[in-house]
Amino acid sequence: MLLLLLMGASFGVGLSYDSYNELDYGTTYKMLLHRNAQYIAFRPEYDSNAVILWERNNPSASDNSRQKVMGSYYVISNLTQRDSGHYIIRDSAQNILSTRTIVVVASTKSDAVSTGKEFSFTFDLEPKFCNIYFFPKSDSEVRNDIVHQGRLQKSLDESDCSGFELLKPCGISNKAIQRSCSGHFEVRDQNGDKALVVMLHVETKHYDPSYLAIAIAACLAALFCCCCVKCCCCGKRSSENDDSKTSAARPAMHHHAYDGEPARTHYPAQPSYTPTGPLIHHPPAVNMPPAFEISAPAEKEDAPTVPLCSDHEPRFEVKGLTSTLPLSSDSGFCDVYTSDKLNYL
């Protein structure tokens, strides 16, 4: 029972308590107001003097547009380092109801890239309030101005770390970062408060053995394919040369179209014999035997190609002028008829 009485008394007079909050630059903080709260006083982190931020009977006393009461909360938007400090809430009797400690820090990030790679960052800050500085790792006391009030500085081209371009709203980019850019970058507002700190480590580019092995394998495969293509071309040319030589050495052959019948031997027609002068001077009248009608034997499929001699049809030959050739190339007779009546020589 005694414990309950003590707790009720504590709530009746308003028990004070403290809180500590570390917040990033640019964030929003909401502070719950006690129902008996009458004042909110602010004492900066490094200052003993306190100022009144809010008074219930005079809500418009504060001239800071980023700080206002919304329902049961006292809201501070777009925090900066200037908002770091102690917020003391008092009642009408000036008793402390609560104390809230806020510490605003810059947002931080770390990045590691290889030389020649792209590097960039940006921050949500109005361009006219944008300032970016670079502090090299080799000498962190040296400050290089990259952007001032939203404008890229030309003097940066004279430093070892150069080649930057401006990014909106407040940032920079480098298409091929250099090793001399190892260090940290700071984004600050118009009051010099740190909004963002970027730690950069630029690594020397190393060749990956796996990529090297893949490249070597690809080269060997390409070389092998080229050799195979070359060998195939050489073999084809050699085969073509052998075929041409074989065709040249092979005797020409005449091909006849076969239409189902055996081939027939055709002899060229001999020109008709026309004597240019008389063979016999003053030949006497001679009774010549009757002319015989000559007909060629019928052709058979298996008949020999050489004409056969007839056993029943004679031919005439002048006695004393024996000739092995017939009187005509078309003659196919073997019988010889010898007559003394034609021998005038």
Mean pLDDT of all residues in 326-345:
47
Q: Is the pLDDT of residue 83 over 80?
A: yes
Residue 164 in contact with residue 89, Cβ under 8 Å?
no
pLDDT level of residue 239 (50, 70, 90 thresholds): low
**Is residue 124 domain-shared with residue 176, that is, in the same domain?**
yes
Q: Is the pLDDT of residue 105 over 90?
A: yes
Contacts of 6 by beta carbon, 8 Å cutoff, 6+ apart: none
Could you tell me which residue, 142 or 224, shows the higher pLDDT? 142
pLDDT level of residue 204 (50, 70, 90 thresholds): confident
Mean pLDDT of all residues in 198-204:
94
Residue type, 177: I
For position 118, what pLDDT does the model report? Answer: 96
For position 168, what pLDDT does the model report? Answer: 93
Contacts of 72 by beta carbon, 8 Å cutoff, 6+ apart: 32, 33
Judge whether 272 lies within some domain: no
Q: Is the pLDDT of residue 306 over 60?
A: no
Mean pLDDT of all residues in 112-137:
95
Across 79-83, 126-130, 281-285, least confident range:
281-285
For position 220, what pLDDT does the model report? Answer: 82
Mean pLDDT of all residues in 245-267:
45
Rounded to two decimals, the pTM is 0.56
For position 242, what pLDDT does the model report? Answer: 52
**Is residue 52 domain-shared with residue 111, that is, in the same domain?**
no
**Is residue 169 domain-shared with residue 95, that is, in the same domain?**
no
Q: What angle do CA 207, 208, 210 make, to 5 degrees?
A: 140
Contacts of 89 by beta carbon, 8 Å cutoff, 6+ apart: 31, 33, 34, 37, 39, 40, 96, 97, 98, 99, 100
Return the structure tokens found at 167: 């990014």
Count up the domains in the chain and report the number. Answer: 3
Could you tell me which residue, 271 or 175, shows the higher pLDDT? 175
Mean pLDDT of all residues in 29-52:
92
Interatomic CA distance for residues 132 and 137, integer angstroms: 16
Mean pLDDT of all residues in 240-266:
46
**Is residue 57 domain-shared with residue 89, that is, in the same domain?**
yes
What SS3 class is residue 185? strand
pLDDT in tens, 56-76: 888 666 667 899 889 899 999
Q: How many residues does the chain have?
A: 345
Could you tell me which residue, 235 or 147, shows the higher pLDDT? 147
Mark which of 105, 120, 144 sits at the end of a domain: 105
Average pLDDT value for the chain = 73
Instruction: Identify the domain containing residue 188 by its residue range.
Output: 107-203
Mark which of 49, 81, 105 sits at the end of a domain: 105
Judge whether 257 lies within some domain: no
Judge whether 92 lies within some domain: yes
Judge whether 31 lies within some domain: yes
**Is residue 111 domain-shared with residue 192, that is, in the same domain?**
yes
**Is residue 27 domain-shared with residue 113, that is, in the same domain?**
no
Judge whether 253 lies within some domain: no
For position 84, what pLDDT does the model report? Answer: 96
Share of the chain above pLDDT 90, in %: 42
For position 261, what pLDDT does the model report? Answer: 42
Interatomic CA distance for residues 76 and 30, integer angstroms: 6
**Is residue 188 domain-shared with residue 121, that is, in the same domain?**
yes
Judge whether 315 lies within some domain: yes
Interatomic CA distance for residues 243 and 248, integer angstroms: 9
The enclosing domain of 146 has a CATH number of 2.60.40.10
| DSSP-assigned letters across all residues of 284-331 | PP--PPPPPP--PPPP-TT--SSPPPEEEEEEEEETT---SS-SSTT-
Q: Is the pLDDT of residue 214 over 90?
A: no
Mean pLDDT of all residues in 165-189:
95
Mark which of 77, 105, 133 sits at the end of a domain: 105
Share of the chain above pLDDT 70, in %: 55
**Is residue 55 domain-shared with residue 66, that is, in the same domain?**
yes
**Is residue 122 domain-shared with residue 198, that is, in the same domain?**
yes
